[in-house]
Amino acid sequence: MREFLSQNSVDYEERNIAKEPRWRASLQALTGEAVVPVLLVGGKQVIGLDEHRMAEALGLDHVERESNRDGLAAPPELAALPNQSDDPTSAALTHFVRRLQREMEYNAAKEGAPYRDGQHDGMRFARDTILRILTGTYEPEEMVIERDKP
């Protein structure tokens, strides 16, 4: 989403709910859920990376589009993880999250394509979730389609 907004010269305020609990709470209060990315414009909400709906909400007639490579850089939490752990589960998760980062970087070096952007989104989601588990900041939540079901 950052890339889309920047490419189209839209000023915005970025709020990373994984790093700031008050922003997560604010998003949940505003939208009723903690699903990202979310674009909020004058009372309109666009959830997800739907460029057509984002352009409509922003009132853009012409949209610049490029491949999504946002968020591929290793976050500081990854470098801060210990190299060894006595707990086998933590050790395995640490190894896996580092491998995910390497896979993301390798994949990003290939040519751009919409399906690759989807892969990046999935790997980012997994990487960031595992980092939250390892750093003790993970908060369990249901998928949007699973909420309020018996």
Q: Please tell me the predicted confidence (pLDDT) of residue 35.
A: 73
pLDDT digit string (tens) for 25-58?
Answer: 988 888 888 777 788 888 888 887 777 888 889 9
Task: Find the domain containing 132 and state its range.
Answer: 76-144
CA atoms of 70 and 13, how far apart (whole Å) = 16
Q: Which two tokens stand for residue 150?
A: 């018996």
Which of the four pLDDT bands, split at 50, 70 and 90, describes residue 105? Answer: confident
Cα angle 107, 111, 116; round to 5: 50
Entry pTM: 0.52
One domain for residues 45 and 8 = yes
For residue 97, is it within any domain? Answer: yes
One domain for residues 51 and 96 = no
Task: Specify whether the CB–CB gap between 55 and 63 falls below 8 A.
Answer: yes
Helix (H) or strand (E) holding 44: strand 44-47
One domain for residues 50 and 97 = no
